[in-house]
């Protein structure tokens, strides 16, 4: 008998089938509704982001344009400052050159006074003194030298001011160059759009670069550079006026000072002659004292030799008595007496040696003093020669230089007999 085969598995009921169909339809409706909601939100987001992006890009383009305008205004300000500072540098350089020429022109009137001062620089050792003659000679050149110092100071100040101006110009130029570079960069940024060929993603583009400054700092830096340049230009203008005034000033009061200098020079020559005579007298007395001191030293040395021989005798007696046998080596009165004699002689010898050393020191001091006296005598004679030559040279102050003929060859001949004797004495000392 044949049998009906049955498909294995779960069998659903008809209500289950209907329920499943309703569930599928409901899920489809929900998914379509959710999809519609997402599409609406996406469209709204696109509209919102497109508007936001356009406005952001527009705002940033406006900011870039305003920044370019601000930087450009500062660039123009710096351009004017650079032009002004270039004009001031040129003007100050010309005034500085004029001051240098005026300074050079002051050399000729100083020749005679400088010649006297140079001659007196040949004085030696203690005679190189700041005496009234030197003071008067310095006063003589003071009138002209004051102008030279003033002009030299102005030249130095002009040089320093030129350096400051160049430094300020360098700061302006550097700031100007940086602004030019910033303008170029911002103009490139302003020209960029989505169609530009060189746009791309960058690594961490929102980072803050090292060395970044705030907007206030940027503004203050440019303002500071401008104010610094203006201050240096103002100082330069004041310095130019002061320098031109210093160049214009002249003052010649040499005649009265020439009389005072020659009076002091004549007085100094008389003082040197008196000092020379005093040194010759001191030399003679010192030689006599040296002779007496050498005789006393000879006598001290003789006494020291005798005391040394006496000490040898006492030492020998003491040493010889150490060879006495056994109990005979007693410390008797002879032993004590010899010991006391040794101590006394040693003290005497020490005293004599000390006094001999003191005498030798005194003799050495006398010889040093004699050498000093003789040396100083030579210095005085040399100073007399130089000061007399100064007196002869000063005739050029009242006699035209082309007509001046020296009356004395101060190194070989002299018309002053007393001075000739001084020079001969100096040669003998040498």
Task: Look at residue 114 in the predicted model and tell me its pLDDT.
Answer: 86
**Mean of per-residue pLDDT scores for the chain:** 83
Taking residues 96-114, report their average pLDDT: 82
Give residue 394's pLDDT: 81
pLDDT above 60 for 417: no
pLDDT of residue 270: 92
Summarize the confidence of residues 225-253 as an average pLDDT: 86
Q: pLDDT grade, residue 108 (50/70/90)?
A: low
pLDDT grade, residue 421 (50/70/90)? Answer: very low
Phi then psi dihedrals of residue 49, to 5 deg: -70, -35
Cα–Cα distance, 356 to 349 (Å, whole number): 10
pTM over 0.85: no
pLDDT score at 385: 92
Please give the average per-residue pLDDT across 335-339, as a whole number.
83
What is the distance between the alpha carbons of residues 123 and 115, in angstroms, rounded to a whole number? Answer: 14
Per residue in 84-93, pLDDT tens? 999 999 999 9
DSSP annotation of 202: -
3-state SS of 245-257? Answer: HHHHCCCCCHHHH
Give pLDDT tens digits for 168-191: 999 999 998 988 988 888 888 878
- Write the DSSP assignment of 156-190 as a string of letters: HHHHHHHHHHHHHHHHHHHHHHHHHHHHHHHHHHH
pLDDT at 414 over 50: no
Range with the poorest average pLDDT among 9-13, 224-228, 261-265: 9-13
List pLDDT tens digits, range 228-238: 999 999 999 99
Tell me the per-residue pLDDT of 27-73, one tens digit each, with 9 for 90 and over. Answer: 898 888 999 999 898 999 889 888 888 898 888 888 888 888 988 99
* Confidence check: pLDDT of 7 > 60: no
């Amino acid at each position: 008998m044949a049998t009906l085969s049955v498909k294995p598995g779960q069998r659903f009921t008809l209500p289950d089938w209907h329920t499943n169909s309703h569930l599928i339809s409901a899920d489809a409706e929900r998914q379509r509704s959710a999809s519609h909601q997402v599409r609406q939100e996406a469209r709204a987001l696109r509209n919102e982001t497109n508007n936001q992006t356009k406005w952001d890009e527009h705002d940033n383009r406006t900011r870039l344009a305003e920044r370019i305008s601000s930087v450009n205004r500062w660039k123009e300000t710096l351009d004017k400052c650079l032009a002004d500072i270039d004009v001031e540098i040129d003007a100050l350089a010309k005034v500085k050159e004029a001051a240098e020429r005026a300074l050079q022109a002051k050399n000729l009137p100083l020749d005679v006074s400088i010649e006297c001062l140079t001659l007196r620089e040949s004085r030696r050792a203690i005679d190189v003194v700041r005496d009234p003659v030197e003071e008067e000679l310095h006063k003589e050149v003071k009138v002209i030298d004051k102008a030279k110092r003033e002009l030299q100071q102005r030249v130095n100040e002009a040089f320093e001011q030129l350096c400051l101006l160049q430094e300020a110009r360098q700061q302006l130029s550097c700031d100007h160059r940086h602004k030019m570079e910033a303008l170029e960069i911002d103009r490139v940024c302003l020209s960029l759009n989505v169609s530009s060929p060189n746009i791309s993603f960058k690594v961490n583009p929102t980072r803050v670069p090292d060395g970044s400054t705030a907007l206030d700092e940027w503004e203050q830096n440019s303002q500071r550079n401008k104010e610094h340049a203006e201050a240096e230009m103002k100082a330069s203008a004041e310095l130019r006026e002061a320098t031109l005034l210093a160049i214009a000033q002249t003052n010649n009061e040499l005649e009265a000072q020439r009389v005072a200098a020659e009076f002091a020079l004549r007085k100094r020559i008389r003082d040197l002659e008196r000092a020379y005579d005093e040194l010759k007298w001191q030399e003679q007395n010192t030689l006599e004292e040296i002779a007496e001191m050498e005789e006393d030293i000879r006598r001290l040395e003789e006494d020291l030799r005798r005391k040394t021989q006496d000490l040898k005798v006492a030492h020998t007696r003491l040493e010889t008595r150490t060879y006495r046998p056994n109990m005979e080596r007693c410390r008797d009165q002879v032993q004590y007496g010899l010991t006391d004699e040794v101590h006394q002689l040693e003290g005497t010898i020490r005293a004599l040696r000390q006094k001999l050393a003191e005498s030798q020191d005194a003799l050495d001091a006398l010889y040093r003093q004699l050498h000093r006296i003789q040396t100083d005598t030579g210095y005085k004679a040399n100073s007399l020669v130089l000061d007399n030559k100064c007196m002869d040279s000063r005739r050029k102050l009242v006699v035209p230089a082309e007509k001046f003929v020296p009356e004395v060859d101060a190194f070989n001949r002299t018309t002053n007999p007393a001075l000739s004797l001084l020079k001969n004495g100096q040669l003998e000392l040498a």
